[in-house]
Amino acid sequence: MAEKKVSLPAKLINGGVAGLVGVTCVFPIDLAKTRLQNQQGARVYSGMLDCLAKTIKMEGYFGMYRGAAVNLTLVTPEKAIKLAANDVFRQKLSKDGKLALWGEILAGCGAGTCQVVVTTPMEMLKIQLQDAGRLAAQRTVAASASATGPTPSLVASRAAQPGTNAPPQPSATRITLELLKTRGLRGLYKGAGATLMRDVPFSMIYFPLFANLNADRHSNPQERAPFLQSFVAGCTAGSVAAVAVTPLDVIKTRLQTLQKGEGEDSYRGIIDCVQRVLKREGPSAFLKGATCRALVIAPLFGIAQGVYFLGIGEHVLGLLG
Give DSSP secondary structure letters for 205-248: HHHHHHHHHH--TTS-TTBPPPHHHHHHHHHHHHHHHHHHTHHH
With bands split at pLDDT 50, 70 and 90, how would you rate the model's confidence at 142? low
Contact 297, 242 (CB under 8 A): yes
Contact 296, 193 (CB under 8 A): no
φ/ψ (deg, to 5) at 156: -80, 175
The per-residue pLDDT for 156 is 38
With bands split at pLDDT 50, 70 and 90, how would you rate the model's confidence at 114? very high
Residue 160 lies in a domain: no
Burial 138-152 (b: 16+ CB within 10 A, else e): bbbbbbeeeeeeebe
| Distance of alpha carbon 131 from alpha carbon 37, whole angstroms | 10
- Helices vs. strands in the chain: H and E counts, helices first: 12, 0
315-320 average pLDDT score: 80
The per-residue pLDDT for 18 is 80
Residue 3 lies in a domain: no
CATH number at residue 82: 1.50.40.10
Range of the domain at 82: 9-39+47-139+184-216+225-313
| Distance of alpha carbon 65 from alpha carbon 32, whole angstroms | 10
135-141 average pLDDT score: 78
**SS3 of residue 2 by DSSP:** strand
Q: What pLDDT digit, counting tens, does each position of 209-248 carry?
A: 988 888 765 444 445 677 788 888 889 999 999 999 999 9
pTM of the model: 0.82
- For residue 154, pLDDT over 70 is answered with no
132-158 average pLDDT score: 61
| Sequence-ordered list of residues with C-beta below 8 angstroms from that of 71, at least 6 positions apart, any chain | 23, 27, 30, 122, 126
| Distance of alpha carbon 166 from alpha carbon 54, whole angstroms | 13
Strand partners, 156: 261
Q: Distance of CA 50 to CAs 32, 43, 137, 291, Å? A: 9, 11, 13, 14
Contact 288, 43 (CB under 8 A): no
The per-residue pLDDT for 146 is 60
Residue 292 lies in a domain: yes
One-letter identity of residue 220: N
| Distance of alpha carbon 189 from alpha carbon 160, whole angstroms | 30
- Cα angle 110, 75, 103 (rounded to 5 degrees) comes to 20
Strand partners, 261: 156
With bands split at pLDDT 50, 70 and 90, how would you rate the model's confidence at 120? very high
The per-residue pLDDT for 158 is 38
Residue 2 lies in a domain: no
Of the candidates 204, 221, 199, 214, the residue with the CA atom closest to the CA atom of residue 302? 214
- For residue 268, pLDDT over 70 is answered with yes
- For residue 281, pLDDT over 50 is answered with yes
Residue 151 lies in a domain: no
Residue 163 lies in a domain: no
Mean of the per-residue pLDDT values for the chain?
A: 83
Number of structural domains (the chain) is: 1
Residue 108 lies in a domain: yes
The per-residue pLDDT for 145 is 61
Residue 105 lies in a domain: yes
CA atoms within 13 A on the CB side of 237: 27
